[in-house]
Amino acid sequence: MHFDDDDMHDTFDDLTDDMGEASAFDAALGTRVAGRDYDAEEQSLLLLDQSHAWHPYTQHQGMALPIPIARASGAWLYETNGRPVLDAVSSWWVTTHGHCRPEIAEAIAEQARTLDHVMFAGFTHEPAAELAAALVARMPRGLARVFFSDNGSTAVEVAIKMSLQAFANAGTPRRLIAALDNAYHGDTFGAMAASGRGVFTTPFEPLLFEVARLPDPSEADTLAALDALIDARGTELAAVIVEPLLLGAGGMRVWDERVLQGIRTRTRAAGVHLIADEVLTGFGRTGPMWACERADVSPDLMCLSKGLTGGFLPLGATVATERIFDAFLGDRTRTFFHGHSYTANPIACAAARAALTLHDDESEDARVAIEVAQAGHLASVADHPAVRAVRQLGTVAAVELAGTAGYLSDVGRAMSAFALQEGVLLRPLGNVVYVLPPYCITLPELARAHDVIARFLEGERAKDERGGDVD
Ligand SMILES: *Cc1c(COP(=O)(O)O)cnc(C)c1O
């Protein structure tokens, strides 16, 4: 790959030659965060970023400057100027035990000095073998084989490919996948195909493979639709993929355990695989270790990522039953021909092993305390006129604001800007604001996040009373 180091400095040098650093900064950058001044180091960091980096889910035209973060600890991020920001969303749902937990940091440092990486075809190592065994030991019954990849999307791709190929290998090919409306399974093509349709998927729509859609179980009769699908196309159906009990990115929509049990009963009877995408719900997020555990359901395939390394390193895992694994035994054509350069990276596995060890009784108690406290906070805003609904599952609390629904809703952006000013990181999904904290958060810290939401709601009420739009 060609990387022209000079390029890196062109924009900055050109600008600073002409105008001097501060005005170059102002000319090159759009919207400053209100009231924020930047010293010379911060300015050059932001100039480099704005000249060369491309951010996820970000409209770069007219974007607010990203917040430069220097370090993190526990539930807190620290800006380069030292200002603390409470991470009430676990940095996109990955940070489980808290930022920079020393046990995980040390496991990573030690592994990096011992064995950085080795390809995982034809080789193995202690971190991967021990992690696989430790994961299986905590899995719902029947899940026995761990396939490593790099993130949640690839964990989903792997699960879908395993299901399809298991049928192909058995000589009874099935090609149809069913998924829930409002589901989110990631941004790669297979994961997008399985995800609900929206602004994320529109440009790619014609290229996404056919997926049978089942209605969102938080608002419709999914089981009746599944019965009809199995009646009509049961022998074509390879797998049903679900985010068990919580449609996360779709707006933190909570759904009933009995529906998950019903999906399990029906898929088992029809010989259809059940894929549980626990990328968000895994590792204690919904209370017990897995959301499937809440419903006492064992899927055929489970996808893991996000909390797997405690939020330190990218790693994905797809856990399969021995039966699915067995469908790949035989001659070479039955092989699962899938892998990634960094499959089972030892450093990531060492981080995951350390993170898993931290899921002890104490951590479980902390989650229960968070759950109880969140319930209290939600109860105190449930009847507010600016609130349409409140929802909770385990450590996840969500407030659906009155106003336009959908990912591009403006009320969420206003909420997020307000929270940031108050030193709390919240990133609403459209008009749904949620608190999804690292388990190390203290109850006063948690109260602070909810206080910011309550004060925002008061502002919305005041606007409403003045006759403005609630939006
Ligand atoms: C975040 C998420 C994914 C995608 O994971 P990435 O690591 O972002 O690719 C898949 N499924 C669910 C349920 C998720 O929440």
Could you tell me if residue 42 is inside a domain?
yes
Return mean pLDDT, the chain.
92
Give pLDDT, residue 460: 85
Q: Is the pLDDT of residue 235 over 50?
A: yes
222 and 280 share a domain?
yes
377 and 321 share a domain?
no
Range of the domain at 270: 102-357
What mean pLDDT do residues 398-416 have? 82
List, in sequence order, every residue forming a beta bridge with 146; answer none if it has no partner: 319
Which of 300, 332, 357 is the last residue in one of the domains? 357
286 and 414 share a domain?
no
Residue % of the chain over a pLDDT of 90: 85
List, in sequence order, every residue forming a beta bridge with 247; answer none if it has no partner: 253
Among the ranges given (46-55, 306-315, 462-471), the one the predictor scored with the smallest mean pLDDT? 462-471
Could you tell me if residue 244 is inside a domain?
yes
Q: What is the pLDDT of residues 135-182, one digit of tens each?
A: 999 999 999 999 999 999 999 999 999 999 999 999 999 999 999 999
CATH number, domain of 137, equals: 3.40.640.10
Mutation probe of ligand 1 site: the residue of 91, 305, 313, 315 with most atoms within 8 A of C-beta: 305
Domain count, the chain: 3
Give pLDDT, residue 22: 57
Could you say which DSSP state residue 308 is in?
Answer: G
470 — pLDDT class (breaks 50, 70, 90): very low
| Amino acid in the structure at residue 42 | E
Atom of ligand 1 nearest to the CA of 92: 1
Q: CA 151, CA 268: separation in Å to the nearest integer?
A: 28
> Cα of 437 to ligand 1 centre, how many Å?
17
Could you tell me if residue 71 is inside a domain?
no
Give pLDDT, residue 8: 35
Q: What is the pLDDT of residues 88-146, one digit of tens each?
A: 999 999 999 999 999 999 999 999 999 999 999 999 999 999 999 999 999 999 999 99
Higher pLDDT, 170 or 199: 170
107 and 154 share a domain?
yes
33 and 180 share a domain?
no
Q: Is the pLDDT of residue 466 over 90?
A: no
Compute how many other C-beta atoms are within 10 angstroms of the C-beta atom of residue 2.
Answer: 4
Q: What is the pLDDT of residues 15-40, one digit of tens each?
A: 444 455 556 666 666 566 667 899 99
49 and 197 share a domain?
no
> Cα of 45 to ligand 1 centre, how many Å?
29
> Cα of 456 to ligand 1 centre, how many Å?
29
Q: Catalytic pick from 216, 277, 342, 434?
A: 277
367 and 286 share a domain?
no
125 and 159 share a domain?
yes
Q: What is the pLDDT of residues 333-381, one digit of tens each?
A: 999 999 999 999 999 999 999 999 999 999 999 999 999 999 999 999 9
Q: Which residues line ligand 1 (CB under 6 A)?
A: 151-153, 156, 184-186, 243, 248-249, 277, 279-280, 305-306
Q: Whose CA is nearest to atom 15 of ligand 1?
A: 280
206 and 349 share a domain?
yes
Atom of ligand 1 nearest to the CA of 156: 10
Q: Catalytic pick from 87, 150, 184, 439?
A: 184
> Cα of 285 to ligand 1 centre, how many Å?
14
Please confirm, yes or no, whether 57 is among the known catalytic residues: yes
Q: Is the pLDDT of residue 5 over 60?
A: no
328 and 390 share a domain?
no
pTM of the predicted model as reported, rounded to 2 decimal places:
0.93
Atom of ligand 1 nearest to the CA of 243: 13
Q: Whose CA is nearest to atom 8 of ligand 1?
A: 152
Give pLDDT, residue 344: 98
- E strands of 278-430, at which residues? 301-304, 316-321, 387-393, 396-401, 424-425
Q: DSSP labels for 44-65? A: HHHHHHHHH---TT---TTPBP
295 and 235 share a domain?
yes
Could you tell me if residue 59 is inside a domain?
no
> Cα of 153 to ligand 1 centre, how many Å?
6
Q: Which of 170, 121, 119, 145 is nearest to 337 (CA)?
A: 121
Q: Is the pLDDT of residue 257 over 50?
A: yes
Give pLDDT, residue 395: 98
253 and 340 share a domain?
yes
What mean pLDDT do residues 1-28 have? 47
